[in-house]
Structure 1
Amino acid sequence: MADAKSEGSTGLPDPSGEIVDQATFSQILEMDEDEDEREFSKSIVYDFFEQARSTFDKMDKALKEKDLAQLSQLGHFLKGSSATLGLTKVKDSCEKIQHFGARKDETGTQDEPDDSKSLNKSGHSVGQARHEFEEAENLLKKFYHDNE
């Protein structure tokens, strides 16, 4: 088991909740029948890992094809999945991808008529989201490894 002093209320080694929102993730953990095995939550989390990697591959393809509409859809999709697990940074970056793909600014309030700017900003945000996903993935793998 990990040192309780370095953990948040969920047992994640992320006490500030900077990478994973503790309150949201604890709701997922509550569905586990066995707190030692955590089979249910682990399956949800590991399915998300596969889904996210596949979505990032599709985003890369959409960037190469300069398909802003597809980027917006993929950003929206991954934003929802990330929010469900409490991956706040990933969710926020995916929301930006959604907005840039819709030819808007990062807040979604102003139109961006220049597709090349939208593509550049989308590319940057995809890279940022991927990095944040990898941080969350490493943290969550560590969490589940500590409970095996």
Structure 2
Amino acid sequence: MASRHDSQETPSDAGSTGLPDFGDNIDLLTFEQILEMDDDEDEREFSRSIVFGFFEQAEATFMKMDASLESKDVAQLSSLGHFLKGSSATLGLTKVKDACEKIQHYGAFKDETGTTEVLDKELCLERIKKTMVPLKQDYAEAEIILKRYYGTS
């Protein structure tokens, strides 16, 4: 099994913590909390299992979101947004978390902040559809970064 040291990381890519620069896709402090639970810093089996489990969970959730968009099930979209928001927040995937929170709000007939009611279902669905595009892009970027970190890209 490849370790994170097999990746293309160079000293100039590493931050002060020895981790690569994750940019604004991943909150370093949150992700480090997951890494602290690893018994072996070279293998990182615990954090790896959480991260790769999240990838499977996110892919399945995206499929459900797409189906819910097709059936115009805003309540289900809100629930799926809430679900993915929590798991992405746990890993520090800030952009993914923020987009999921918007979807949660739109699916609950609210604006993106969750403060103002929006009674137009079609408008809420359109906002969810538009939010799904950057959500999937941000997820894909985070997936690439994390797979590179774990030496599996």
Give the TM-score normalised by the residue count of structure 1.
0.93
- Further displaced range: 77-86 or 122-131: 122-131
CA RMSD after TM alignment: 1.2
Percent sequence identity over aligned pairs: 56
TM-score by length of 2: 0.90
3-state SS, counterpart of residue 145 of structure 1 = coil
Q: Which residue of 1 aligns with 2:11?
A: 4
Tell me the SS of whatever aligns to 2:150: helix
**Aligned length in residues:** 144
The structural deviation recorded for 1:10 is 5.2
- For residues 66 and 14 of structure 2, the distance between their equivalents in structure 1, rounded to whole angstroms, comes to 35
Cα deviation, residue 130, structure 1: 1.0
1:112 aligns to 2:118 (yes or no): yes
State the Cα distance separating 1:7 from its structure 2 match.
2.1
Q: Where do 5+ consecutive residues of structure 2 fail to align?
A: none
Identify the residue that residue 80 of structure 2 maps to in structure 1. Answer: 74
Question: Could you list the runs of 4 or more consecutive aligned residues of structure 1 that deviate by over 3 angstroms after TM superposition?
Answer: none
- From the superposition, tell whether residues 30 and 102 of structure 1 become closer, same or farther in structure 2 (CA, over 3 Å): same
d(CA) in 1 for partners of 2:89, 2:40: 24
Alignment of 1:61-100 (within 5 A): 61-100=67-106
Give the match for residue 128 of structure 1.
134
Q: 1:73 to 1:67 in 2, by over 3 A?
A: same
